């Protein structure tokens, strides 16, 4: 669905932040972007979507250079959820209706189809009771779900999300993460997600891009990329990846080795 080919990016008069980067995300896949602060995770998302120009290389959407897509057609296929910001102006319904803007002409009022799509998205996430509430009155978890509902209302098939679980408690993180999994499985949506919570990447059972501070990177299946050795190198910290089995499912916990003293049992090498 979306692919990056041999892409490089640097700010003026600076070295490459991203160098010779290549990866692809197919229909129904989740790609995690992992790396320490300052390595270019959000920059990667902005370049991926054309907000910032690659110094070289390109982004392809369904085999076509993203720069060749008409704006209204591009944003019908792709939805971007930036880092969470609350609005003091819009109600929940109005915020979700913003996701339908590419489906109507400039200055045109929302149509019945737009309102139906917005309500459907709100119903999917159990948010109908909040339709008239001002977004600034919402909790962090509620606002993240509203942002996701707005993205779903676009009927896009690819969602690009910058830190969906940031500043959320465990209950709200679970709600957001479960929604991503359901949308992937039930609707076949694809995701590109920038996250600081490495454990979440394993839950999605997809692919990962691990960015290093020297502009190097690794791309592949999450279990192959996010190993102890690779993560320790990327974060300049001795880390352990511990596996926890529950029934037929396997979960992962990533912690600095110092937390375990000399014990290295059940670690994932």
pLDDT in tens, 83-127: 766 566 889 998 898 888 776 666 768 788 888 888 988 988 888
- Position 261 pLDDT exceeds 50: yes
pLDDT in tens, 16-65: 899 999 999 998 899 999 999 989 999 999 999 999 999 999 999 999 99
What distance in Å separates the CA atoms of residue 49 and residue 74, rounded to the nearest whole number? 9
Beta strands in the chain (DSSP E): 2-9, 18-25, 30-34, 56-61, 64-65, 78-81, 158-162, 190-194, 207-211, 217-221, 239-246, 249-256
Query: Which residues lie across from 59 on neighbouring strands?
Result: 4
Predicted TM-score of the model (pTM): 0.85
């Amino acid at each position: 669905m979306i692919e990056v080919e041999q892409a490089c990016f640097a700010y003026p008069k600076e070295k490459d932040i991203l160098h010779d980067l290549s990866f692809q995300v197919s229909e129904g896949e989740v790609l995690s972007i992992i790396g320490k602060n300052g390595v270019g995770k959000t920059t990667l998302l902005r370049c991926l979507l054309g907000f910032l120009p690659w110094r070289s290389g390109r982004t392809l959407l369904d085999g076509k250079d993203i720069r060749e897509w008409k704006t209204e057609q591009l944003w019908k296929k792709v939805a971007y959820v930036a880092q969470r910001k609350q609005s003091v102006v819009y109600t929940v319904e109005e915020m979700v209706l913003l996701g339908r803007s590419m489906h109507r002409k400039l200055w045109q009022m929302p149509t019945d189809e737009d309102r139906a799509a917005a309500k459907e998205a709100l119903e999917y996430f159990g948010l109908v009771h909040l339709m008239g509430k001002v977004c600034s009155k919402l909790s962090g978890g509620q606002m993240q779900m509203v942002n996701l509902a707005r993205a779903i209302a676009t009927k896009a098939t690819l969602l690009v999300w910058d830190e969906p679980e940031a500043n959320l408690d465990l209950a709200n993180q679970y709600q957001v993460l479960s929604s991503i999994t359901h949308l992937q499985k039930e609707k076949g949506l694809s995701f590109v997600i920038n996250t600081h919570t490495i454990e979440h990447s394993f839950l999605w059972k997809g692919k990962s891009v691990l960015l290093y501070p020297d502009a190097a990177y690794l791309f592949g299946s999450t279990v192959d990329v996010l190993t102890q050795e690779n993560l320790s190198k990327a974060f300049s910290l001795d880390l352990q990846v511990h596996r926890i089995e529950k029934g037929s499912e396997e979960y992962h916990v990533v912690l600095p080795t110092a937390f375990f003293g000399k014990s290295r049992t059940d670690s994932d090498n």
